[in-house]
Amino acid sequence: MQEHNQYRTVRRRPADHSEMSDALGRHFQMQSHDLKNTRDLRTLLLDAAYELQAQPDLTDAHIYLHSCTLTKKRVEMEVDQFKRITQPNIGGRILLHDIRATAQHREILAMEGASPVSDPSRKPTTASQEAVLAYLLQRHLQSLPGVSISTIAAQTKASLPTIYKVLNAYGHCIEKDPEDKTLSLRYFSKSDWLYWIQRTNQLSSAYFIDRSGTPRSANRLAKELARLQRDDLAIGGLMGALHHLPTLDATNSPQLDILVHGTRRTNLSFITEIDPGLERHQGRAEMAHVVVHFIDRPASLFVYQDGQNWGALPDCIANMQKAGLTHQVTDVLQLLKQGQKP
C-alpha cells in the first residue's frame, strides 16, 4: 500500500520487503519506486542496516531503486558516505542496485521526436541470465576462485531473482561452498556451452559490407578500430578467439567481428571512421565484411592487451557460432576441455 504523505516518495507495498534463502545463506531485499530525494534514500539504507543488525544470520541486504530520479552520481555518493559511518560488517553487506526506467526514457524520446540512436556513452544497466553466466564462465576459464552471490550481484548488476534462475538452470555444473558462502562453475560441458550460445545469440547483430570493390582486410580494420581508443569497442569472433588461444588451428576469417558495449540502439557511426566504404547490409549475413555484436550487459568483460580491446572468450565463441564456424567452435571447446586457458 502506497503512503500518501506528501513529503515521502518511497512506496510501501506488501512485496517491498522480502527474503530469499539458498545454500549460501539468507538475503534480505528492499524495493523502492520513484525515489526523489536523499532523505528517503538514507531511510532505505538505515532500514537495511537495522535489519542486518537485528538478524545477524542474514548474509546481506539488497536495495533496488526503480525509476529513481536522483542522479547516479548522487546515489553513489550517498551510499559511499553511509558506508563510511557504519560498521564495516554492516555497511559492507548492503548492496544497492540502481535500475533506471529505460522504457520510460524511450517513450519520452519518441514524444519529443528525438533520434532513436542512443548516446554512445550510455551503457546497459541490467543484466540477463546469460550475462551472469558469462561472468561465471570468464572466471572459470581464468581459474579464479569462487565468489559470493553478493559479489556476483555487485559485479554484474543482476538482480537476485536473475542470479537464482541461473543457479537453478545450471545447478548441475555449479559448485557451492557453504563454508565460505561462495560458488563457481565446476565444469561446463559442450551441451551447456551450446545452450548458452544459443540464448546469447538471440540478440541481433548489425552487418556491414564494403561497396568500394577493394575491401580492407580484417587485420587492417582491426588496427583502425584500435586507433579510435574507445573502451566500449573490442575485437571478437575468430580473431578474438585466436588471440586468447594461439594454439587454435585456424586461419583468420575475412570477416571482422566487433563487440560494442551497448544496446541495439547504440550509435554505430564509428564504422565510417574505420572504413568510409562500409555500408549497412541487410542481405545474406555471410556476405558481410564487418559484423557488430552488442554486449548488452553492465559488465563488458573486455580485456586490453597488445594495444587493443579484446572481447571475453565466451563472447568470441558465440560470435563464431553465429558466423557458422561450427568446426572451429568445436576445436575451441576441445582445447578448453584439455585445460588450455585464455
Q: Is residue 135 part of a domain?
A: no
Task: Please give the grid coordinates belonging to residue 129.
Answer: 541470465
User: In the chain, what's the furthest Cα-to-Cα distance?
Assistant: 71
The pLDDT value given to residue 17: 67
What mean pLDDT do residues 275-288 have? Answer: 86
Inside any domain, residue 145 = no
Specify the higher pLDDT residue, 262 or 36: 262
Average pLDDT of span 202-229: 92
At residue 2, the pLDDT reads 41
330 and 211 in a common domain = yes
209/94 same-domain check: no
- DSSP alpha helices (H): ranges in the chain? 38-54, 72-85, 88-91, 102-112, 129-141, 149-156, 160-169, 190-200, 218-227, 237-244, 270-274, 313-322, 326-337
Inside any domain, residue 40: yes
Query: Which range of residues forms the domain containing residue 9?
Result: 1-100
C-beta separation of 64 from 10 below 8 A: no
| Domain edge (last residue) among 70, 100, 130 | 100
In this predicted structure, the answer to whether residue 103 has a pLDDT above a threshold of 60 is no
Residue 191 lies in a domain: no
Give a yes or no: residue 175 inside a domain. Answer: no
Domain count, the chain: 2
Q: What grid cell was written down for 104?
A: 520510460
Question: Within a domain: residue 120?
Answer: no
Task: Provide the CA 291 distance to its chain's centre, in angstroms.
Answer: 20
The burial of 277, by beta-carbon neighbours within 10 Å (0-12 exposed, 13-18 middle, 19 or more buried), is given as middle
Among the candidates 82, 100, 118, a domain finishes at 100
Domain annotation covers residue 155: no
Q: Is residue 150 part of a domain?
A: no
pLDDT in tens, 41-99: 998 999 999 989 988 888 888 898 887 888 888 898 999 899 989 988 898 889 888 87
- Same domain membership, residue 210 and residue 96: no
What DSSP state is assigned to residue 159?
A: -
Of the residues 49, 74, 100, the one at which a domain ends: 100
Query: 24: pLDDT confidence band, cut at 50, 70 and 90?
Result: low
